Structure 1
Amino acid sequence: MQAWRNAFQKQLSKDVSVAGVTLARFIWASPLAALYLYLLYQWQPVAMPVFSGHFAGFIVAASLAQILATALMVKLFKLRNYAIGAGLAKSEAVLAAVLGVVFFSESLTALGWFGVALGGCAVFLLSGASLRQLSVPVLLLGLGSGLAFALTSLWVRQASLVLGLPFPYGAAWVLLLVIMLQTLLLLLWLTLKDRPTLTALWQRPKLTLLISLCSCVGSIGWFTAMSLESVALVKTLGQVEVLFMLLISAFVFKEKLQKADHWGLALIVLAAIAVMWA
């Protein structure tokens, strides 16, 4: 879902501003997330959550960080091809591992660190990037996007844990509140600063809906998994997304892939096995 969302965002970015492409990720996702939460309560009712100031802080921080991460990634797509842009943004797994251990009291076994490191190497190979290709702006945008995505994930996990609801209800509440806040902030910004972008999104309803749908379904998976396990391990396992990203890059955008792809895919598999064992 995330690979398709990135592909649709790349298409939309040809005609719509960075803020508009970022909004497309959230604008129809709120009702979808609300429907998902409603269906959970119909399936098995649990207690309603009690929101604290601590929880609200995590929600606001995660919402702002994800908006920034998405905006930086869209700018990255405009500088490099699809695979390199999204590949650099996937540095988030390594950054999440370091930040989680240092600031969020998370712990990783040696096998977990090995998997995270393998995943980082795999993403670099699969992106088709080389040190000669990476200019300073591309490198800073990629690492900045990865850092913002890593912080988003860590704050989302903390919000789910603070809420204290049974699985998977906490993650569902966090998802709904984050998406609603992001939608309101971006709609307010564009209404005040860039109304033509809202018109441009309105004129592309199918593409906008596809982006929101893929984003919401992907986020349900991410948020739920991160309520169960360390962010670094979840993100490393999630790097199998890069395989789908490369297939889309080759067959949809007709972009040439590097010979290192086979090695990269092998490392992705090894990294996934390592984090599952960890």
Structure 2
Amino acid sequence: MTLSYLWIPATLAAAAAQTGRNATQRQLTKTIGTVGATQVRFLYGFPFAILALALVRLALGEPIPSPNATFLVYVLGGASTQISATALMLSAMRERSLSVVTAYTKTEPVQVALFGLLILGDPLTLGMAFAIVIATLGVIIMSLKREADLMSSGLRPVVYGIASGAFFALAAIGFRGAILALPEGSTLMRSTTTLVWGLGTQTVILLVWLELFDRKALVASFKAWRPSLGAGFLGALASQFWFIGFALTTAANVRTLALVEVLMAQAVSHRLLSQVTTRRELVGMGLILVGVGLLLAFQH
């Protein structure tokens, strides 16, 4: 496998780690609230990112790239929009199942393809656009309840989920832009450096926010350090692989292949939460697989 195709296993690894992190954070919302559960992935993930950068520095013998103004702007944009996206996603998860909320947020690929074209000039061919639409259609079909009533649990979780997808799209573009803005370093070094800056920025933002507006949630997140540590590790691991993918190909490619996370979330819901997979969800999953398969085919 050539280096350019390493984004495929990197994305699959990221999706698997993120599925585990989402499930862990969902449980934390019950004890420390939405904002508290949002910040643990950053606060507890930051030390793991620093460790990863130290190991990469030691293994590769490369200097750590110095940030420039463009890099910092992209990092700040990616960090702030990802915080908003995560908070919206966890809010929706309090009202809908993990697999359904994941489906709403995964309307993201269409948006990330457009943002990537407009902001970064990432290529978007007709074939790629068709594959993205097919896979996203599968997500939409999966999000329907068995009674075909989208609003059966209210409009709010739907809005939260779709808005979360939009912010995740902007975050993906921001972090890919930051990686590309670094003038030197290998793929692994630039992606890991961006990870440290991103998680560091997010940690500072959320610590200040919680100290000012929700000190109770901040204290609760420290008390719940054991499950929070697990969420932080899985979050940092997922982000590391996401960033490697962003360094190797367009964010649209990465986030479309990442739709396999919907299938992973469905498996988690089925096994751990005793939720039944409907025929409509099976059709949606089939379309996701077709869309992802077409996307990979168009890479040749």
TM over 0.5: yes
What CA distance in whole angstroms lies between the structure 2 residues aligned with 1:131 and 1:220? 37
TM-score normalised by L of structure 1: 0.94
Residue equivalent to 1:94: 110
1:128 touches 1:258 (CA, 8 Å); kept in 2?
A: no
Say yes or no: does 1:256 pair with 2:285. Answer: no
Residue equivalent to 1:9: 25
What CA distance in whole angstroms lies between the structure 1 residues aligned with 2:186 and 2:120? 21
Residue equivalent to 1:187: 207
Report 1:1-278 matches (<5 A).
1-129=17-145, 132-134=149-151, 135-164=154-183, 165-278=185-298
Q: Residue 262 of structure 1: CA displacement?
A: 2.2
Q: Residue 36 of structure 1: CA displacement?
A: 1.0
Q: Deviations over 1:44-92 (max 9, x none)?
A: 1223312211111111111100000001111111222222112101111
Uncovered stretches (5+) of structure 2, i.e. residues with no partner: 1-16
1:119 touches 1:236 (CA, 8 Å); kept in 2?
A: yes
Q: Residue 131 of structure 1: CA displacement?
A: 6.4
For the residue of structure 2 that corresponds to 1:168, the secondary structure is helix
What CA distance in whole angstroms lies between the structure 2 residues aligned with 1:131 and 1:273? 27
Give aligned-pair identity as a percent: 27
Over 3 Å counting, the alpha-carbon distance change for 1:33 and 1:265 in structure 2 is same
1:236 touches 1:272 (CA, 8 Å); kept in 2?
A: yes
What CA distance in whole angstroms lies between the structure 2 residues aligned with 1:169 and 1:128? 42
Uncovered stretches (5+) of structure 1, i.e. residues with no partner: none
Q: Deviations over 1:210-261 (max 9, x none)?
A: 1111111111111110111111111011111111100111111122332123
For the residue of structure 2 that corresponds to 1:47, the secondary structure is coil
Bigger drift between 31-40 and 106-115 goes to 106-115
Q: Residue 18 of structure 1: CA displacement?
A: 1.3
Q: Residue 110 of structure 1: CA displacement?
A: 2.0
Q: Residue 126 of structure 1: CA displacement?
A: 2.8
Runs of 4+ in 1 over 6 A off after TM superposition: none
1:49 touches 1:163 (CA, 8 Å); kept in 2?
A: yes
1:63 touches 1:152 (CA, 8 Å); kept in 2?
A: yes
What CA distance in whole angstroms lies between the structure 2 residues aligned with 1:204 and 1:46? 37
What CA distance in whole angstroms lies between the structure 2 residues aligned with 1:116 and 1:210? 32
The one-letter code of the counterpart of 1:175 is L
Q: Residue 128 of structure 1: CA displacement?
A: 4.0
Q: Deviations over 1:117-150 (max 9, x none)?
A: 1210122233344863234323321221001000
Over 3 Å counting, the alpha-carbon distance change for 1:48 and 1:216 in structure 2 is closer
What CA distance in whole angstroms lies between the structure 2 residues aligned with 1:81 and 1:248? 10
What CA distance in whole angstroms lies between the structure 1 residues aligned with 2:50 and 2:92? 31
Q: Residue 209 of structure 1: CA displacement?
A: 1.1
The one-letter code of the counterpart of 2:150 is Q
